[in-house]
Copies of this chain bind each other. A is one copy, B any other.
Amino acid sequence: MKEQTAQVRWERRAQRPLLALAVLFAVAYAVPIVVSPASRSLTNACTAVEWLVWGAFAADYLVRLVLTEDRVRFVRTHWLDLCAVALPLLQPLRLLRLVSTLLLVQRRARMASQIRLTTYVAGAVVGLLMFGSLAVLSVERESADGNIRTLGDAVWWSFTTMTTVGYGDHAPTTGLGRVIAVGLMLSGIALLGVVTANIAAWFIARFEKDDVEERRQTEAILLLTDEVRALRAEVAALQETSVQR
């Protein structure tokens, strides 16, 4: 049980620094896209920061693997983390680095049990909107007949996609841009599901009516208990009579 505790202790301590690194990654990812004709040195610095943050999360995975009790089970239940760690090594593309870091951050965020579901969903939606916008912008700006060319357009497009409104005034035209769009659409459907389910659960808990039968049962049981108590009193009286004679 000692190793287990060591793992949990590490996970708690590493949480805040890793969250700070995630924010740093967001900045490093956004800067070369927003500052459009970015100088070479700035781009290089941002790439370095991205690799650094990815490295920190990879190191976190390894430390947890070393500290865990049952390593085989850890690898099996955390195979997605392993993929996310390995992905940028196989194909050092910027977008894959984004996806793998987002996956690692998300996996880490889910571990923080004090974060409630609503906060988690809201955070995931905001993150997806932000990174979806940036990723589509960086991909579509290169395309000759693309129509998403400013950050404003990209954010606007993300919103219309995620809420499944889909005006069509802006839409990705490249294959990669469309893959990102599909991700946003599926997240939008999940978002809709979570919002609806949340409201429905609240509604159902409020209008629940099957308490009537249960309250009648409770009353019946209490009545029965009174009956039995009266019976005990009678038996006690009988006992008294019996003894007296």
Contact = CB atoms under 8 A, between A and B. Distances in A.
Nearest to A178: B156
Query: Assembly of this chain: how many copies?
Result: 4
A216 B228 CA distance: 19
Contact of A166 (B167, B209, B218, B242): B167
A239 interface: yes
Contacts of A218: 213, 216-217, 220
B195 A195 contact: no
Q: How large is the interface on A (under 10, 10 to 19, 20 to 34, 35 or more residues)?
A: 35 or more
Contact of A227 (B160, B191, B228): B228
B234 A234 contact: no
Contact of A210 (B159, B199, B211, B237): B211
Interface in A157-186: 159-161, 163-169, 171, 173, 175, 178, 181-182, 185-186
A234 B239 contact: yes
A232 interface: yes
Contact of A221 (B217, B239, B243): B217
A126 B158 CA distance: 24
A159 B182 CA distance: 7
Interface string A199-210: 111111111111
A186 B202 CA distance: 19
Given A197-B200, A198-B203, A222 B225 contact: no
Nearest to A161: B165
Contact of A214 (B181, B186, B206, B217): B217
A224 B230 CA distance: 13
A165 B168 CA distance: 9
A201 B173 CA distance: 38
A184 to B, nearest CB: 9
Interface of A: 152, 156, 159-161, 163-169, 171, 173, 175, 178, 181-182, 185-186, 188-211, 213-218, 220-225, 227-232, 234-239, 241-243, 245
